[in-house]
Amino acid sequence: MSGQARVVIIGGGFGGLSAARALKSAPVDVTLLDRRNYHLFQPLLYQVATGSLSPGEIAAPLRGVLSRQKNTRVLLGEVQDIDPVSKRVLLADGANFEYDFLIVASGSQSSYYGHDSWRKHAPSLKSVEDATSIRNRIFSAFEMAERIFDPAERRSWLTFVIVGAGATGVELAGAIAEIARQTLRHDFRSIHPEEAQIIVIDEAPRALPPFPEDLAQKAVDALAKLGVQIKTGHIVNEIDESGLTFQGQDGMDRLDAKTIIWAGGVTVSALGKTLAQRTQGETDKSGRIKVGPQLNIAGYPEIYVIGDLALSLGTDGKPLPGVAQVAMQEGTYAAHSIVRKIQGRKELKRFKYFDKGNLAVIGRWAAIADVFGMHLSGRMAWLVWVFIHLMYIVQFQSRVVVFIHWAFQDLTFSRGARLITGNAESEEEMSSRSRGAR
C-alpha cells in the first residue's frame, strides 16, 4: 500500500465505471469490485434479447477498459456486506477491503412487487443471461408454433406479452414485431410469423411516461403500424405458465400467451438493502437510499451512493430517474468530491443533474427523442439515437463492429445472433410447456 487514500467502488455499471475513470489521475488507490468481469451497455440489452446483437458486442471487459489506469485494480467478487464503522467491504468469499472512501453503485434489479412466482413465467431483462434466455424463448416460440396442430395452442405460442410500457417494454415490442414481420417472414412453412400478436400491458394511463405526451403518442402510433397493441390502464392480476389475467376498465380479461416478458418495476440490489440497514439510511418504497446534496448518506461523508441505488433529488425537489445519464454524472461528481476532500479544498457545490434528454427506439429508422427541448420522431430521432449510443460505445471496444452490424442489419432485417442456446433442462422445460407437437 502506498499510503494513498483508498477508494473502493462497488459496481462497474455506468455509475461505478464513470467514478473510476474520473479518478484516473487522482492521488488515490482505487479498487473496483464487480460480480461481473464486464461493463454492460444495458440500453442495448433488448437487442441481444431479440437476436440483433451478441452479448460480446454490448459488453466491455472492465479490465480492458481500466487496463492503463495504473492506480486502479479491478477485482471480480460479490460484495456481501459493508461495515461503515470499521470502514470495510466484505466479499462473499470471506475477503475484505478497507476503504477511506466508498462509492456504492450496485444498481437495481427487477421487482415483481411481491409476486415472485411470476418471475419464472415472465422473465425480466437485466443481465446478459436474462437476454439470452429471453432470446431463446422468443425464437423457440416460433419453432414450437410451427410444429403445433391445435389452433388455440399455436396461437398462444404466437402471442407475446410485455408487461411494462416504459422504454424497455416499447423497444422490446418493436423488435419482436420486426422479427415476426420481417426477419422470419420467409422462414416457416406452417405458420405465418406475421400473425404473431404482440401486446404491451401497463397500469399507467399512458405509455412512455418520461416522454412528453405528443412524442409518446407518436411512438404508440408507430408501434400500432407494426402491429403492436398497447393496453394502458390495465393491471396484471396473475401470471401463470399459460398466460396472464388482467383488469381493465371493462373488467377482468385473460390472454393465453407462452411468452411473457417482464419490463415492469425495479428495486435496489440486495446489497443496497444491507447498506441501508447498516447506515440506518432513509429509503423510498423501491429501496433507494436517500442521499444528501453531495450524494452521501446522512452521517457518512465518506460513503457515496450513486446511480439506481440512490434516491437523489433534482434541483426541482423531485427524485432523479434511474437512468444511465444520472448514474454517470453522479459517478464523476463523487470522484471529484473525493479528490477535493483529500486535497483539503473547499467542498463541491451540490450535485446538479444536467438532463440531455430521453430517447426510445421503436424499430428500423423509427425512434422518438426529447433532446434539448426538441421533440423529434421518426428517422431523425433514430439517427440521434444511433449517434448518441455509438458515441458512448466507441469509448470501449466494440466500436466498428456494432456500427457495421447495425448498418448491415438495417439493410437486410437479418438477425445473425438469433441462436437458441442453453442446457438440456431448458429444452425439456420448453417441451413440457407444450401439450403436443407434430
Distance in angstroms (rounded) separating the CA atoms of residues 9 and 32: 5
Q: Which residues contact 100 (CB under 8 A, 6 or more apart)?
A: 5, 6, 7, 87, 302
CB of 185 to its own copies, least distance (A): 8
Kindly write down the DSSP assignment for every residue of 102-166, as one continuous string: EEE---EEE--TT-TTHHHHS-B-SSHHHHHHHHHHHHHHHHHHHH---HHHHHHHTEEEEE--S
CB of 193 to its own copies, least distance (A): 10
The dihedrals phi and psi of 114, each to the nearest 5 degrees, come to: 90, -10
Contact 268, 131 (CB under 8 A): no
Contact 417, 54 (CB under 8 A): yes
CB of 421 to its own copies, least distance (A): 5
**Judged by CB under 8 A, which stretch of 30-38, 116-124, 209-217, 326-334 contacts its own copies?**
30-38
Which positions from 350 through 409 interact with its own copies, judged by CB under 8 A? 397-398, 400-401, 404-405, 408
Q: Which is nearer to its own copies, 6 or 218 (CB)?
A: 6
Return the residue of 49, 60, 180, 261 that touches its own copies, per CB under 8 A: 60
Distance in angstroms (rounded) separating the CA atoms of residues 85 and 5: 17
Q: Which is nearer to its own copies, 92 or 235 (CB)?
A: 92
Which positions from 62 through 91 interact with its own copies, judged by CB under 8 A? 63-64, 67-68, 73-78, 91
Is 61 a binding residue for its own copies by CB under 8 A? The answer is yes
CB of 286 to its own copies, least distance (A): 23
**Judged by CB under 8 A, which stretch of 55-63, 174-182, 322-330, 354-362 contacts its own copies?**
55-63
Q: What is the CA radius of gyration of the chain?
A: 23
Is 38 a binding residue for its own copies by CB under 8 A? The answer is yes
CB of 142 to its own copies, least distance (A): 9
Listed in sequence order, the DSSP H helices in 160-245 are: 167-178, 213-225
The DSSP symbol for 249 reads T
Q: Which residues contact 24 (CB under 8 A, 6 or more apart)?
A: 69, 71, 72
Return the residue of 92, 204, 235, 374 that touches its own copies, per CB under 8 A: 92
Is 224 a binding residue for its own copies by CB under 8 A? The answer is no
| Footprint of its own copies (CB under 8 A) | 35-38, 51, 53-57, 59-61, 63-64, 67-68, 73-78, 91-95, 128-129, 132, 139-140, 143, 146-147, 184, 186-190, 397-398, 400-401, 404-405, 408, 414-423, 427, 431, 434, 436-438
